[in-house]
A and B are shown apart, each in its own frame.
Chain A
Amino acid sequence: MQSQHSNNYEDDQDDYGWPDEEDKEQVSYHHQFDNDEKRQLEKVQKLVELLGCSQDQGIAIMRFFKWNMDKLQNEWFSNERRLGIKMGIEFDNDLSKKFPLTMQSLAHNNQGYCMICYGQFSQKNKQDNMSCGHQFCQEDWRSYLSQKVNEGFQAVQSKCPQHLCNMVVPHSYFVKYLQKEDMKTYMKWFCKAYTDDNKNVRWCPYSGCDYCVEYQDYGESDVSCKCGNSFCFKCGSESHRPCDCKQTETWKNKNSAESENITWIMANTKQCPECRKPIEKNQGCNHMTCKMCSYEFCWLCQGKWSEHGQKTGGYYNCNKYEELKSKGDVKISKDETSRQAAKNELDRYMFYFERFNNHDKAEKHARSLRPVIKAKIQLLHEIKKYPPSELDFLDEAINEVIKCRQVLKYTYVYGYYLKNQKELNLFQFLQEDLEKNCDYLHELIEKPLDPYLDTNIVDRSTFYHFKGQLINYYQVTRKVRLSS
């Protein structure tokens, strides 16, 4: 879904002349990748004011608590020093006692020398040190941080270059020493760390979308991204209302896993009575010859074929089965019952899957229609001079169709797992309503808009009629979608 990014979605934030209605949909805080830095630093700033620490320390503390202010306030004040060492903002003096050789070598043997290049510090290259006291030349800092940044996102957790030192390299050092490309890479990791650590921020799962969504708890787990797609914040996959995350996952597994094949095998095959290989019978007579072991048997009763004849009512008409069944042969009827049950279950599954799949395809189709509609809007504006605000309804409508298809898709999953007959009836009624309206809206929006582009036609009433109709259906559909 690359295309939406180029549009000015964010600029069109005024409503499109649509009546305001109580919106159950999540109005979440969306923020762009680039804004992460600002957002992060704003939060850090609050902490800086609260604790009176530096920004570097604030970043380390926030990261340590995964941006969870409650946890921070509970734990920080009681354990400031111990935690400070743990998060690498306070030097662990025990280290120099434990490892006197590595830790103190600098102070004693190498005073005035950089521990990386072994060059002597001069006025020119001297470096202000972190509270651990380990000093390095500026050029060495740059190389060190550059290497860390290019190794991967863990760079934000880089430690002081001194062996075993517990101090974390402060954000400001990266900012100070890194140049151009390295700095860009670092900022990428810096923002990524925020999204990855913070439980209230998620990447949009749609391919090609680089936005994140920050969740604010309104009880709804559906969030819509700036790219126009919506997804479930809880599980991070596409919106799956009315199903819950667990149901959705079960359904997905069901679709992909081999389990359905097993059901199919159970419904359509029998095992060869001799070698136990599953055999499929598509059509034809009951005389089966196993390809694996050449055993001949009767499909119906699974008895030896040679035993069939007059006494079983003719070679090709086995009543042995009926006979056994009527006598209540436990084994055969049990096998048959489970086979039948599997077949019914498979039919049921196929019914729901087919419809699920149908809406899934329709949704994809609607998505591919989105750029087409965009182009049409542009043309209508350029050729017929409709103001853009009067054309936004087309965009809104196609988005509504996509959302409806998404919901409808999952209503079939919901229906599949819904066992209560009474609820099912009501549910199916609502489903039907939405389906009907969505289909109609989809059909309307798919109609060619070319007639409205004809410059010879001055009368705009047909277009406004079309618009009225579309808006009407849009509203109905939206209402139905949100109420179901």
Chain B
Amino acid sequence: MQARCLGRLKKEAEDIRNNFDGVLELDIKDESQMCWHVRFRGAEGSVYNGEVFTLQFKFSEDYPIESPEVIFVGIPPEHEHVYSNGYICLSTLYSDWTPALKVSAVTMSILSMLSSAVVKQKPANDAQAVVWMKNKSPKKVNWMFEDDKC
């Protein structure tokens, strides 16, 4: 087990508890601390106002050099970049990941992605995509990042 990964996760947990109190709710699922659930509320004034969503973070030993696997669990938001299996099409999670990013920053950028949506809408190819994403980690999917707004 990489000391870096554990040390960082410990500090990140502190960071969320201290600096994001009332915004992000952290639930460390796995005892070895490699699986986290982060709950947050849809922003006021956005189409998701009041809805509660849960993101699941799975970390590998090489975190944060290697990106975490991030998906929505429970009921995912209806959003153009979120598939109904909870997979998220966001370049920051895959090709644009950098080790200087952290759980809170990722969650906040997903929250901001949701907040900028005008209508609730599923991705155009949702049903089809969910079928061929089956049993495939979101990190192994070839995402096409077409736009950064929606």
Residues of A within 8 A of B (CB): 101-102, 115-119, 134, 139-140, 143-144, 147, 159, 161-164
Contacts and interface: CB of A to CB of B under 8 A. Distances in A.
B101 A147 contact: no
Please name the 6 residue pairs, one residue from A and one from B, whose CB atoms are nearest each other, closest first. A115-B100, A118-B11, A117-B4, A116-B99, A143-B65, A162-B100
A163 B105 contact: yes
Contacts of B100: 102, 115-116, 134, 161-163
B46 interface: no
Contacts of B8: 116-118
Nearest to B12: A118
A110 to B, nearest CB: 10
A34 to B, nearest CB: 30
B49 interface: no
A163 B92 CA distance: 9
A388 B99 CA distance: 60
Q: Is the contact region of chain A dominated by helix, strand, or loop, or is it mixed? A: loop
Contact of A102 (B11, B64, B105): B105
Given A117-B4, A119-B7, A161 B62 contact: no
12 contacts: A102-B100, A115-B100, A116-B65, A116-B100, A143-B4, A143-B65, A144-B65, A161-B98, A161-B99, A162-B100, A163-B92, A163-B105
Given A117-B7, A118-B7, A162 B98 contact: yes
Contacts of B65: 116, 140, 143-144, 147
A121 B98 CA distance: 20
Interface string B45-85: 00000000000000000101110000000000000000000
A147 B66 contact: yes
Contact of B101 (A118, A119, A163): A163
B56 to A, nearest CB: 21
Contacts of A143: 4, 62, 65
Contacts of A164: 98
A115 B100 CA distance: 5
Contacts of B99: 115-116, 140, 144, 161
Contacts of A144: 65, 99
Given A118-B12, A147-B66, A140 B101 contact: no
